[in-house]
Structure 1
Amino acid sequence: MADINKFGATGTTLQEFLADMRQKYLAIDGDWNIEPESPDGLQIAAWCEVLANLDEAIIQAYQSVDPNSAIGQQLDRIAEYASIRRQRATFSTSLVTFTGTPLTAIPAGTQVKHRITGTLWATDNDVVTSSAGTVSVGVTCVSSGSQGANIGTLTKIATPIGGIISVTNGVVASMGLDEETDNAFRIRRTESVARLGSNMIDNIYAELVNVNGVKKIRILENVGDAPDENGIAGHSMAIFVDGGANEDIIAAISRKKNPGCGLNYKTNIPNKISVDTRTATGQPVNITFFRPEYVSVFVRIEVLIDAVDFDESDLKKRMVDYSLKGFDETLGFSKHGFLIGEDIAAGRLYTPANYVVGGAQYVRTITVGTKSGAVDQNIIPIRFNQLGVFDAGNIEVVYV
């Protein structure tokens, strides 16, 4: 039977129950017919299955109160004690430019279509074309998850508007995420215990990581008097956030930022979002943060294959997922994917590749690049404010 002590909980397996029960029956009568197909054998099997299920249920109940082993709804309940909730699926975002007649209004929700995959993307807000007939606006994919869009792929107008003749995206899309897995949720819960801590950087990070839609965060601090090599002002922080709504991010920072440390609202770091707002107690404050610059990553994988096939689309999806959230299948691997400002090292991509390939096959080489015709590097240098973005359409699998 199940045993709970100071070292944990242990139970008896079905096979152990069967062996013990059969031994006790034969101790009564050595000629007793307890073969599996006999009436008594079937009865023994039924009893043992019930006992094994009871032990398993007891162990699961014991483990469900531990955040390191709880799953599903019970993990949600444990995290709720700290006001932390599982993140639902998020949506990919990009920036498109409309061209047409000057001063043409384009309402929020106007849809454009990916020319290859057919996914629909809706504009985030109302805009009007300039006197030159162009305007740029953010778009969000209507389908959740990691929906990619390379440069020049959002080119079909799905919602016709008089005066608008073309649309295109000049930047690669920032990928959305699937609903947070148990493993990823455990990691974020652990990071979020700093929400009530005393370190401002950890506090801000823990607050931002729980903002709906936020995917990547990087906080750089310059404790010196002069600007550093990245242009970050002295005695200040530069906060980089990928994903999430501007107003939610601003509110989160204002709740945790202490007075006296600047946020670089006067620097020339690109993609700056700066808003004058108020703290929770009504004090005026300027909140500044930055969006990362996206760098398209192309991958070439050489697979030595014998006779066993594998799902190539699954391999590409695993690569994209790894870039977003790391490898959470087991311990000892990155749990955050590639971070803002982190170089793209091809060597790290062997982990998700080998997880899919296996069998009579193995990955021979993996190289990366920023252009489709030059995927021959081992490392892509990434600047402090950049983020490498993977797309299944930019991953080539070659069989050798």
Structure 2
Amino acid sequence: MALTSKGYKRESYEDILERLDVKAKELFGQDANTGARSALGILLRIMAFVLALVWQDNENVYYSGYRKTAEGRQLDALLPYAGITRNPATYADGPVVLSGTPGTTIEMGFTVGKEDETLYYTLEESTIESDGTATVDVMCQVSGAIGNAEIGEINQIINPIDGLESVTNPIAFTNGKEQETDQEVRERADTTVEGLGSATTASIRTELLKVSGVRAAYVDENYSDEINVYGTPSRAIQAFVLGGSDEDVAKAVFKKKSGGIQPYGQTYITVLDDAEQPKAVGFTRAQTVQIYAKVSLKKNNSFEADGQNQVIKAIVQYIGGSDAESNTYIGLNMGEDVILSKLIARIYGVNGIDDVDVLLSTDGSLYEASNIEIKLQQVAQITAANIEVI
């Protein structure tokens, strides 16, 4: 039986071949030649191979029904039961400065790009001003981190026109993100189902984590008669949030908070209630603790050519932040400490590593082989540029 009280047990190719061999000799006689080079043996092995694939497909179907093991589209179909959907890839966008002859008109959809042939199009028509420049917003033609750009990296005019001489981006583009991975969306789903309902700090946090772009959240409540250590007034709540737009965060807090409770914070956004009456909803942006890491590796012959990038990615995925390709990972939640042993365990997941030493820092100067404590209103983050691998 494939399905038992302990779950699904798939038969291997060898198990299937053995059963076919036994059945063949039962039907054709014990002296039947079922060797690998015999006609009957070859047929049995072909059948065993095909049946093994069927067993594998059945196993995949079985595991696709559970959020912990489903992948891809099957996982997407289960996410609504947790009240969320997968965050899609986003398009990088931002302003560029066009230089040329005053009065030159650049139509909407005009194409510029980077030297690696990543293309962007203008979102509106613009005209070169008297100072010889025009600032216009552009958006990458493809989604994902490929659209992110350092300052000055967008410098190619794809279809030249008279009166236009050059283009550049005065600020870095960093808002292009890849689609949320299976592991990331599983972790977010696990968190959201913890706080179903309303009028509790858990339900407010859950609602915040459903907001697109929110990577961490913590809700502090003060039911004492004095202001607490986080600055939350008496009989009030204060949501600490990393990521997401101000409007979406405020709406999420207002949707789940209890009636008559003040939503306090350093940022206030006006939200309309059911009667279209304006309500001021406050929340506070989380304090980001930048982490720096120095990693010393003892490698063997199995260490791959891009092994260093794999190590950097493993560190970013554990702590949270941006890797070398500008992919963003959620990582640790609000108030979670950076545990050195857990970080080292993630690094050992990269092939070809015999030994590893890791030093951590919060200022880039003083490094220690110790955990980093994170307060409740803080969240640890790291970038590929802050990781040194030798």
TM-score by length of 1: 0.70
Alignment deviations for residues 128-179 of structure 1 (CA, whole Å, 9 cap, x no partner): xxxxxxxxxxx99997359999xxx757786999xxx99678xxx9997643
Q: 2:355 aligns with which of 358, 362, 367?
A: 362
Partner Cα distance (2:181, 2:148) in 1: 20
2:257 maps to 257
CA gap of 1:54–1:140, structure 2 versus 1, over 3 A, is same
1:63-142 paired onto structure 2 within 5 Å: 63-81=63-81, 83-89=83-89
Structure 2 vs 1, CA of residues 177 and 349 (structure 1 numbering), >3 Å: closer, same or farther? farther
Mapped partners of 1:388, 1:175: distance in 2? 19
Identity %, equivalent residues: 26
- CA shift for structure 1 position 80: 2.6
Could you tell me how far 1:66 is from its partner in structure 2?
Answer: 2.8
Show the counterpart of 1:12.
Answer: 11
Instruction: State the Cα distance separating 1:263 from its structure 2 match.
Output: 2.1
Query: Structure 1 residues 148 and 309 mapped into 2: Cα distance closer, same or farther (>3 Å)?
Result: farther
Cα distance in 1 between the residues matched to 2:24 and 2:178: 53
Residue 183 to residue 156, structure 1, CA distance change in 2 (3 Å):
closer
2: CA distance between counterparts of 1:319 and 1:211?
A: 25
Count matched residues. 346
**Match in the other structure for 1:247:** 247
Match status 1:292 vs 2:294: no
- How far residue 316 of structure 1 moved from its aligned partner, in angstroms, is 0.7
Confirm or deny that 1:388 pairs with 2:384.
no
Shift of 1:212: 1.3
Equivalent residue letter for 1:24: K
- Specify which of 308, 320, 323 is matched with residue 324 of structure 1: 320
1:281 is displaced (CA, Å) by: 4.9
Determine the C-alpha separation between the residues in 2 that align with 1:118 and 1:54. 44
> What SS does the corresponding residue of 1:286 show, helix, strand or coil?
strand
Give the conservation status (yes or no) of the 8 Å contact 1:297–1:390: yes
Partner of 1:22: 21
Q: Report if aligned partners of 2:198, 2:256 keep a CA contact under 8 Å in 1.
A: no
1:192–1:92 Cα change, 3 Å: farther
SS of equivalent residue, structure 1 residue 241: strand
Residue matched to 1:315? 311
Structure 1: runs of 5 or more not aligned: 99-112, 123-138, 266-271, 326-334
Aligned to 1:301: 295
1:192 paired residue number: 192
5 Å matches for 1:199-238? 200-238=200-238
Offset of 1:44 from its aligned partner? 0.8
The answer to whether the Cα contact below 8 Å between 2:215 and 2:242 also exists between their aligned partners in 1 is: yes
Structure 2, unaligned stretches of length 5 or more? Answer: 98-112, 122-137, 158-163, 322-328
Using a 3 Å threshold, how does the CA distance of structure 1 residues 228 and 174 change in structure 2: closer, same or farther?
farther
Is residue 255–residue 280 contact of structure 1 (8 Å, CA) maintained in 2? no
Q: Distance in 2 between matches of 1:81 and 1:378?
A: 40
CA 1:82/1:279 → structure 2, altered by over 3 Å: closer, same or farther?
A: farther
Q: Structure 2 vs 1, CA of residues 377 and 68 (structure 1 numbering), >3 Å: closer, same or farther?
A: closer
